[in-house]
Chain A
């Protein structure tokens, strides 16, 4: 099992649990604010027509996140 799986590796329909947040700066605070802390369950619910950003169900709300930012949100599934 790849230990560096991130939100970027999720396909629509998959669920996972947040393992670590590597983002820094304002996006980190933003992600924390919307409840993306360790052990949070997320589900990938869709992808924009161009393939980026993707939409995730996080604590009851649907949030779109760009793939660059997804890359630094590690998950275990």
Chain B
């Protein structure tokens, strides 16, 4: 799942399977498919929505819905998480399975990857066991063609007994055919005769014992053949869902449970037991898929072509793997810092000039001082700061990151880092959730659903905050440019900044490993669980779309959220700074109270207050600090970083303070959105509290050690 309006924050947690129809006639269509086959691209192409896409498995972890209409019907399309089979393993796969099995969609479109059709057919076959209204969309035909793979779609459709359409989802027009076939399917103009997988004779016999009875009991509500198979292998989580869906436990019916027992006995005679029945079922599915492909797919080379091999040999090589990761990280930061410098200054100039205009306007209208103070000096000024400091770096960072995401590099990071994570008894996929954390920690938390083991998922959630989100980047960058890189000057300055920032990120990553290890030997004891990770083919990112998507989808959204918090926070802050009790402002009281403790950490009361007030969004911490100092009256205007340096020094800041602030920014409580997301995802207040405490205590400890060592040494 990417970082979009609907995927971040509170709304990130899917609210089950509630379908929102616009009219009662709307048909519900599920988009299913293996992970990373371009389901989200198909979904976007059809609905015009911008569900975030990227080249890595597990990006969609919650279902998304959108509308699309043809001349005949209007549809609610449901983009469900990618899944290899309907015998679910992880939380996200359960979402997919439950929707196909029990969501009663009017049709299911199974999106397949043409470059590895055989494995995709496994899911198609399983879906066809549940529903006969299945449409197969073979996507990525262009990629397949490049790899010398040819698919006879007509023959495939003939064999499967359901309509099959080809598509290149990145090219929108290729989806027209899909929609017309969907119309025909819904109108029942296409007759479907879904291919029935023939299982081993003993299994077929066992099905024969149960199927007539189940058909009699449940009629058309549920496919009796499918239900027979499921009752035989008795997957616990599916049994629970069945109970809910059918309104009763089918095994409570004595006749059914007797039939199940008889069927199991018959199987046992043939050597098929509860332990191996699933293997036998899956083998039959896989072999059927293999057989289908023999007749319909011709390929000159296998899927993993020489080009991918060559790139992988470099990017995951023993010697170059890690250095390249580091270089890429530093390069992204360098481009961000260098590129953001000038636009940031221009924006600040523009916005603060407008502040003067506003002030002029208020004066001319004869507005009272407090109103001007609250709205202009409070709300507007903080807003202006947030926009000018945040917008340029984000507008550069997000497209760069999206490029990496689209290319398929992210899973390689997880691949490279799996061993260290395993050493910490965690999962390599945690690296993917950390990458998402760079965008937004709340999105990273939701992304943790791609991790199968609950223990490892918790570790990933608790440590996600050690990766600074975009709300904290600008603060880190500002600190570095003001206190460290400024002296270097020129191009060297931004290089130095990028290197320092990379260093800080590495520190965060190191903390992630250390805390993961600590957790897995204490409260979350356990051994690393098994793990498979798909390395998708490299794809050339669509640069134009990357830029548009990441700016509109991510940058403006995140900025909007920051602004929504910044303006009221500025207002509140102005009030705090200007309402006096006993001759001192409330802010000064608060800062004064926290000051002794903050000093221990190398901070001061104002900074700690700012971090506390910044709980709703980290973006506003720096503006709050600046506002507080300004309201204490040392400098009244602030238009550039040099002046900021003067302001901060005048308030007693040294490089030690700057580093402490950066450390604390990297390691303190997660923002409220993230905390609420953790609470929702874990279903427990306890783990949200742990996620609050662990980074906070780590930060306290580190700041304390750093500040006091520095004081002793310098």
Contacts and interface: CB of A to CB of B under 8 A. Distances in A.
Contacts of B89: 26, 29-30, 33
Nearest to A41: B302
A48 interface: yes
Contact of A26 (B85, B312, B452, B533): B452
Interface string B580-617: 00000000000000000000000000000000000000
Given A34-B84, A35-B122, A45-B309, A27 B316 contact: no
A63 B533 contact: yes
Contacts of B313: 46
B150 to A, nearest CB: 14
Contacts of A43: 302
B183 interface: no
Nearest to B325: A49
A66 B278 CA distance: 23
B73 interface: no
A45 B308 CA distance: 11
B418 A52 contact: yes
A68 B119 contact: no
Interface in A9-66: 21, 23, 25-35, 37-38, 40, 43, 45-53, 55, 57-66
Contacts of B528: 66
Contacts of B321: 48-49
Contact of A62 (B85, B428, B534): B534
Nearest to A66: B531
A63 B535 contact: yes
A37 B282 contact: yes
B531 A53 contact: yes
B127 interface: no
A14 to B, nearest CB: 14
A60 B287 CA distance: 15
B534 A49 contact: no
Interface residues of A, number: 39
Interface in B499-535: 528-535
Given A33-B87, A37-B287, A53 B428 contact: yes
A20 to B, nearest CB: 11
Nearest to A72: B530
Interface in B387-417: 415-416
B419 A48 contact: yes
B87 A29 contact: yes
Contacts of B660: none
B419 A62 contact: no
Interface in B270-291: 278-279, 282-283, 286-287, 289
A45 B304 contact: yes
Contacts of A60: 115-119, 302-304
Contact of A38 (B87, B116, B278, B283): B283
Contact of A57 (B118, B279, B303, B529): B303
Nearest to B275: A24
B312 A45 contact: yes
A23 B532 CA distance: 13
Contacts, number: 142
Q: Is the interface of A mostly helix, strand, loop or mixed?
A: mixed
Contacts of B118: 35, 59-60
B418 A34 contact: no
A55 B74 CA distance: 44
B84 A33 contact: yes
Contacts of A32: 278-279, 282-283, 286
A66 B452 CA distance: 15
A21 B420 CA distance: 27
A53 B418 contact: yes
B422 interface: yes
B416 A49 contact: yes
B283 A37 contact: yes
Q: Among A26, A32, A51, A58, find the residue whose CB has the most chain B CB atoms closer than 10 A.
A: A32
Interface in B112-150: 115-119, 122
Interface in B429-472: 452
B115 to A, nearest CB: 6
Nearest to A61: B116
A53 B533 contact: yes
A23 B528 CA distance: 15
Contact of B116 (A23, A25, A30, A59): A59
Contact of B282 (A33, A48, A57, A62): A33
B317 interface: yes
A47 B590 CA distance: 55
Interface string B144-160: 00000000000000000
A55 B283 CA distance: 22
Nearest to B84: A33
B322 interface: yes
Contacts of A65: 531-532
A35 to B, nearest CB: 5
Nearest to B283: A37
Given A49-B318, A57-B302, A30 B532 contact: yes
B535 A64 contact: yes
Given A35-B119, A37-B283, A63 B534 contact: yes
Contact of A66 (B84, B87, B318, B530): B530
A32 B476 CA distance: 46
A55 B415 CA distance: 9
B333 to A, nearest CB: 22
A55 B312 contact: yes
A69 B531 contact: yes
A55 B532 contact: no
B422 A66 contact: yes
B426 to A, nearest CB: 12
B312 A31 contact: no
The 6 closest A-B pairs by CB, nearest first: A60-B116, A27-B530, A50-B419, A60-B303, A49-B321, A33-B84
12 contacts: A26-B530, A32-B286, A33-B89, A33-B122, A34-B532, A49-B316, A52-B422, A60-B303, A62-B303, A64-B418, A65-B531, A68-B530
Given A47-B318, A57-B304, 19 more contacts: A26-B89, A26-B529, A30-B89, A33-B282, A34-B534, A49-B321, A52-B422, A53-B418, A53-B419, A53-B428, A53-B531, A59-B116, A60-B115, A60-B304, A61-B116, A61-B303, A62-B304, A66-B418, A68-B530
